Structure 1
């Protein structure tokens, strides 16, 4: 039956509390430290000594408003108030009834209108059953020690179900929302049902806690048992071995001590300790024990947390790079940029603006260019300038995925991959690793090593690189990877996408001369036992050595030739023939024999049907001649071992000449009734590429029109049927070859003008460049008299035949590489 509703004032002070709920019939101490609460207590004492205790929704709010409080609280009589020396107030209250608050008003404290919520018992039979079930569940929970004995005794003495439910809710560790929900339920049966649900959940939590405690105790007991068993095993093994091999008995413990000192991640440490436990249970002479022993040796010798401190001085790094290498300005700039960025990142990490992991992130560089230009040696200088260890991994010819990822331990003779081997040899986890000749990786039925490199060279993945032999992840994110390649087009696109390309171009003759004097000559003198006062080279001798005895983009062959001269001089000095030698350009024949290379030179005169083109090979650039002869017959004949692209350029040039025959005053019938023979000398050398289009058009139109082509002009560029002049590659090398041949004028596509910045200023100032967008502009420069002479009617001159045969001239020997026009 409904309980009696107490008479209370309609408007009372409000005391907000944080994190707790009190229920009717309870006598409770309330500690108040906030002004809003203390003022409410004082107002209650000055009035009818009634106060409303209401819980805050968010306990972190220090100055709550009405919206921050629940609408149902507990109306209380204030029994006693005590002020503490620290300014806080302690209040003893007797909770009277549940009350619903409305119209919160804020002054120096909160007041609210209240409405007492009557308590309803519900059906008597249901209430007795629920009360009995509640008491039994509470006793079960209390038996686990979750409630203090005094509270248990108080609750067991409660006969009224509503009071018992309220006291249980107060003394158990429920969430504030659940306790508030129990306060807001006026019907006792509903309140007990809700409380039983919470008690069921509490029992489940206690059961899980008990299970966890049991597992922890069992694990502790297991570790203790394993310790005693291992100690017993040591004694047994010692007795089996004649009572004497302490080293075998302590081997597993030695590995454990080393693993503990490595400070590994928990998941890695767990896997490795499993192998140590296997080793401890095995006979030390078994084959499996030998395999595990080798594996653990690899694990304990890897630098899991060893790092070398980066030297981030940009000026010091610039000095190191300049001392070790001449030229290569773009590469040096990129390295110094890397150092500068890393230095700024480290400063930000010190201030806590970014994480330490972000400091280690960096680009994957790939150096591309012809052999001998310093790709490998610059990587060593980078490591030196950074203060890091240097590891070179030669990938040329590697065709097994296990070269990168290692072999699984199930194979006999299994080993980690080359990356892990390099890391161990470096002794630090942040070395500079050079992946040399990455464009020469092969594939076989054993896998594709370039695909295995995809994970290694991806900064987002390589922190979890797992070698098949190790079986646990090793962090490669702090390694600075540098790759080298001669032909970047042979690198798989997915791998190339992960790398930043830095192109190494060929050295010009002036650069080779400086490199020879600064680095190659001193190195070869030391290698051949000579002193600097025993042999000297004149600049003229070195220049001749560069141009007539070597043909390469780099300086390897140049160093070999210098070494050859040094050895022959050393022999003369050793036998007492001379004491010192000065090598001049005239004496090179004595030491090296006849010159091996005779660079092509320009024509002496302007000739009809003969134009000068330019080509590029991996060992440098040079000029070539395109000759056209017009004879009776029909058809187009192409000779000189031309590739398909060059043949197509010749056909495009012929079509362009036909389509413009009337404008150029060329007889179309003569074109149709003549055999047009286009030849490119040096027929033993395969030639390919689209950039001879301009030279072919000039040679062909010169022969058909009878107008000579200028001998001092060389050209490069691709032409289209409509007469557009398109960009090409390798402009720097081509220009250097033309300069060596004595050419003064260069015709080039206008789109290639930015490439002129790569050509040294002193070379650009000694030559004249003609950027062209159309073939007409090319002809205007390349033909004697220009486009005006071509478009002016000629009295039968167009009918004059061109050269009946190819003029005789020297042809450069281009060994080891195809010419690309």
Structure 2
């Protein structure tokens, strides 16, 4: 039976609308959504002509602009019933499929056109068609009954089809067959062939459906088996309980924990508490919430080093070698560490001979390393652990505000855990590690308690043998732990805690030490981190010295290492880009890598000047010199500028009083002082300055300005002056002398009481400088002024006065960009 009436006439050439992923069959009324320009143009052309269009499927659905060769040869000829254009530019078309048609002679403008020829279907033998029709109907109904899902409307439409060919078409359209299979059904001209193709496809779909059902059954069986095993395990627990005479049977996990804890060799009172928890766990259901808490607690107990120790290596020579290899300088610190190890060794030898109790071996002071950042406090603690052969644990205490950080949380809290001390021992795996309590001066206190108070028990040798963490609930012996603390500001450590520790002060590095540290440690490390070989870069000593003095200002060497890393990275870039094979960095080329120098150290005056004396100051990042300028002009009183602190202002007043008191000796009339405004200024007014040790320099500046005798440019001085002319000791002499030497100063005036501090200054530096110990102001003036005390006394004996020509020369100097507070 033909699917197209014989009297149907069609145009010979019609527009073509390509579609992707679907096939339309004759007698269907279907919506077509078009969004491509080629499809919309074809629909518009069909509406302007005879409303006839050919719907053809693409061979490859990913092609957006198909040509005739990209389409199948057979499509479906349709009448356009309605077209609706949407706001988003797409078009929805309702078509009525007329029949199968073959397309030839494609042409292309804005859309495709083709010559079409209708394909008339052949029915075949009636008896064969009837048999195939029944088979098709039965297989379709069997597939639907077997669980294949189709919408109820589609099933009803297919079952109501009386024509077997239309039924085959509708089945092919609604089933999720491949596009190639649907196209094959469309291209079958004989109805019987068409039905056979659909029957074959239905057989394949039935096999897929059977496989899905088989997989579903297997999954269900697996779930049932797991459920059955769960019930069997529960039954086994009941059986074990009966076999133990009514007592709860222990699970394998509980038994394993019991074996681990028995092997720890716990003290009787601790073992009693742990066994009680083990028995509680064995009686609980494994899925109970409290069982999980107890299991975690017992696991923690089993992982702690209750009796595991590392053997101490108390070889003093080996320890000294390790400390020297790991750190340059810090001689006092190294000596104290070696003394500590020596005492520990002698105690151990006496304990082995039975002369003292073994518990006395580990007793000793708790060391606290204090000093500015970056001077090696943390790293030297690592070296101590290395020299002893012990494990190293670092506990950062900065910002800790909760007592439970030290003592742990009680197990009644959700998420409870041991404190940091016990956690550190757990990670170390031994009961005698070296534990570094870092930044102990930055402990806080809050609503949850004071962690510094909790540290009192930890660091007290008389108490820490029975330290009880809140989480453990049983005592743990900390007496064998070697505690070392670090702090930047020891005055911020609570007094009770400080009383339990011995302070070892780390002073800032001098420039010569920084140079050696850079050459021995920092430069090789940065070359390795930045992928450079030693033969690819060379940094001269002059470049390193300039980098230290002009690009960094710090007590330690952290910023120095960063700057060296910056140079190394820039050289690495030049080497990697084949710009150079080897780079040599000199002091003159340093600004090419790091830019303009950030700090400009002071230098001595070019000439001896009236009213300008050179003082010295100390900061945590090193010493330097400062200039004190005094100008005398008509007026009254004293004017102080340069952002001076109260103590420094008092030094200026004391110096002026001394000048008044000794005016007759120095040839300074009372009227000269009373009728003049004495303006004392310290340059670099943006930097606060404080301290008493500028008294000698202020006295020299005032006397020079009042008498017109220049102060020596090559002399710098430090020391406190009194009203009676005594020259008192100061601190930070080493750093001040180093700063003065860097500025080119060769002569240093210092209090005689500070002579012992000269031992801290390197011998090669002492040999190139002249030190002038002074006890009185006269001794200071004798060295600081041109001509010395004789020139002053000559003025006094001659009764001379200051002439206008003797007024101080203005000193215009530019200080470096130093943000540290200068302490004179």
The TM-score normalised by the length of structure 1 is 0.68
Residue 804 of structure 1 and its aligned partner are, at CA, apart by: 6.5
**Map of 1:819 onto structure 2:** 822
* Alpha-carbon distance between aligned partners in 1 of 2:507 and 2:748, rounded to the nearest angstrom: 20
Q: Select 1:672's aligned residue among 667, 671, 674.
A: 674
User: For 1:3-38, what per-residue CA distance to the aligned partner results, in whole angstroms no more than 9, with x for missing partners?
Assistant: xxxxxxxxxxxxxxxxxxxxxxxxxxxxxxxxxxxx
| Correspondence 1:207-606 to 2 at 5 A | 235-236=237-238, 249-606=251-608
Q: Residue 617 of structure 2: SS of its match in structure 1?
A: strand
Q: Residue 367 of structure 1: SS of its match in structure 2?
A: strand
- The reply to whether residue 807 of structure 1 matches residue 795 of structure 2 is no
| Correspondence 1:100-111 to 2 at 5 A | none
* Alpha-carbon distance between aligned partners in 2 of 1:637 and 1:324, rounded to the nearest angstrom: 52
User: For 1:337-376, what per-residue CA distance to the aligned partner results, in whole angstroms no more than 9, with x for missing partners?
Assistant: 2222222222111111111111112321122222222111
Residue 709 of structure 1 and its aligned partner are, at CA, apart by: 1.6
Residue 795 of structure 1 and its aligned partner are, at CA, apart by: 4.8
**Map of 2:614 onto structure 1:** 612
Residue 734 of structure 1 and its aligned partner are, at CA, apart by: 0.8
* Alpha-carbon distance between aligned partners in 1 of 2:360 and 2:517, rounded to the nearest angstrom: 39
Contact preservation (8 Å) 1:237, 1:249: no
* Alpha-carbon distance between aligned partners in 2 of 1:237 and 1:752, rounded to the nearest angstrom: 87
- 1:536–1:680: structure 2 CA closer, same or farther, 3 Å change rule? same
> Gaps spanning 5+ residues in structure 1: where?
1-231, 241-245
User: For 1:601-654, what per-residue CA distance to the aligned partner results, in whole angstroms no more than 9, with x for missing partners?
Assistant: 011112222111111111111111111122222232221111222122222222
Bigger radius of gyration: 2
- 1:741–1:351: structure 2 CA closer, same or farther, 3 Å change rule? same
* Alpha-carbon distance between aligned partners in 2 of 1:703 and 1:237, rounded to the nearest angstrom: 107
* Alpha-carbon distance between aligned partners in 1 of 2:239 and 2:669, rounded to the nearest angstrom: 105
Contact preservation (8 Å) 1:704, 1:799: no
Residue 572 of structure 1 and its aligned partner are, at CA, apart by: 0.9
Q: Residue 407 of structure 1: SS of its match in structure 2?
A: coil
- 1:789–1:491: structure 2 CA closer, same or farther, 3 Å change rule? farther
Residue 233 of structure 1 and its aligned partner are, at CA, apart by: 12
* Alpha-carbon distance between aligned partners in 2 of 1:444 and 1:704, rounded to the nearest angstrom: 59
**Map of 1:10 onto structure 2:** none
Q: Residue 345 of structure 1: SS of its match in structure 2?
A: helix
**Map of 2:654 onto structure 1:** 652
> Gaps spanning 5+ residues in structure 2: where?
1-233, 243-247
**Map of 2:126 onto structure 1:** none
* Alpha-carbon distance between aligned partners in 2 of 1:802 and 1:427, rounded to the nearest angstrom: 78
Residue 754 of structure 1 and its aligned partner are, at CA, apart by: 1.4
Residue 736 of structure 1 and its aligned partner are, at CA, apart by: 0.6
- 1:645–1:285: structure 2 CA closer, same or farther, 3 Å change rule? farther
* Alpha-carbon distance between aligned partners in 2 of 1:237 and 1:522, rounded to the nearest angstrom: 69
- 1:291–1:776: structure 2 CA closer, same or farther, 3 Å change rule? farther
* Alpha-carbon distance between aligned partners in 2 of 1:237 and 1:775, rounded to the nearest angstrom: 100
User: For 1:481-536, what per-residue CA distance to the aligned partner results, in whole angstroms no more than 9, with x for missing partners?
Assistant: 11222222222233222222222222222222221121111111110111111111
**Map of 1:634 onto structure 2:** 636
Is the deviation greater in 400-409 or in 347-356?
Answer: 400-409
RMSD of the alignment, in Å? 2.4
* Alpha-carbon distance between aligned partners in 1 of 2:682 and 2:454, rounded to the nearest angstrom: 45
Contact preservation (8 Å) 2:408, 2:417: yes
Residue 248 of structure 1 and its aligned partner are, at CA, apart by: 7.5
Residue 269 of structure 1 and its aligned partner are, at CA, apart by: 2.3
* Alpha-carbon distance between aligned partners in 2 of 1:445 and 1:724, rounded to the nearest angstrom: 53
**Map of 1:712 onto structure 2:** 714
Q: Residue 534 of structure 2: SS of its match in structure 1?
A: coil
Q: Residue 807 of structure 1: SS of its match in structure 2?
A: coil
Equivalent residues, number:
584
* Alpha-carbon distance between aligned partners in 1 of 2:702 and 2:250, rounded to the nearest angstrom: 87
Q: Residue 664 of structure 2: SS of its match in structure 1?
A: coil
User: For 1:571-596, what per-residue CA distance to the aligned partner results, in whole angstroms no more than 9, with x for missing partners?
Assistant: 11111111111212222121111122
Contact preservation (8 Å) 2:618, 2:822: yes
The TM-score normalised by the length of structure 2 is 0.68
List 4+ stretches of structure 1 deviating above 4 A. Answer: 237-240, 799-806
Is the deviation greater in 588-597 or in 719-728?
Answer: 719-728
Contact preservation (8 Å) 2:610, 2:808: no
Contact preservation (8 Å) 1:776, 1:787: yes
User: For 1:79-112, what per-residue CA distance to the aligned partner results, in whole angstroms no more than 9, with x for missing partners?
Assistant: xxxxxxxxxxxxxxxxxxxxxxxxxxxxxxxxxx
* Alpha-carbon distance between aligned partners in 1 of 2:759 and 2:249, rounded to the nearest angstrom: 68
* Alpha-carbon distance between aligned partners in 2 of 1:689 and 1:531, rounded to the nearest angstrom: 48
* Alpha-carbon distance between aligned partners in 2 of 1:399 and 1:801, rounded to the nearest angstrom: 66
Residue 803 of structure 1 and its aligned partner are, at CA, apart by: 5.5
Contact preservation (8 Å) 1:396, 1:437: yes
Residue 412 of structure 1 and its aligned partner are, at CA, apart by: 2.4
Contact preservation (8 Å) 1:719, 1:775: yes
Residue 672 of structure 1 and its aligned partner are, at CA, apart by: 2.8
